[in-house]
Amino acid sequence: MATNYKITYKNHCTPQEYLTENTRWYLDSDIGAKLTGTAVMDLSTTQPTYITGSINPGAVASHATSGYVFYYVKNISDPDLAGGILISMREEYNPTGTPDDYRIFLGPGECFASKVSTFAALRLTSAIETHTYECIRGT
């Protein structure tokens, strides 16, 4: 008998824009709202996989999705570390990505969870110091 697994997660995003005349960040005027949502992932084929690792500055940790449709990544580094983890979710055929591909930033203690394309490849890098992370992925 097959076992089904469920992951319930909630995301929150505050879109911001930088206005140079006041040199401050404001709530994005085009969107005008904070975005939140709750989702439930039904993982019916395999048990979710838990991974921990660390990333040295300039190195890339690649976790090819190979059919994974859910990722949770948390930066579990010491809060006093500078910088953070940068995340890219480009297609698998792009082996390392380019600096413009890394659009998600996780400072120490921050996390990211999302349903992703089965063709994407999760890549993590750090620009300043070595950061540690934990990751849960599932199909």
Q: Where are the domains of the chain?
A: 41-138
Residues 6+ positions from 25 with CB-CB distance below 8 Å = 16, 17, 18, 19
User: Any bridge partners for residue 26, and if so which?
Assistant: 17
pLDDT value at residue 1: 47
pLDDT value at residue 59: 87
pLDDT value at residue 97: 54
CB 44 within 8 A of CB 126: no
End-to-end CA distance of the chain: 18
The arrangement of secondary structure in 41-138, i.e. its CATH architecture, is Sandwich (2.60)
pLDDT value at residue 45: 64
CB 69 within 8 A of CB 139: yes
pTM for the model stands at 0.75
- Give pLDDT < 70 ranges for the chain: 1-3, 44-45, 64-68, 91-100
| Distances from the Cα of 23 to the Cα of 14, 18, 27, 32, 33, angstroms | 18, 7, 13, 19, 21
Whole-number average pLDDT of the chain: 81
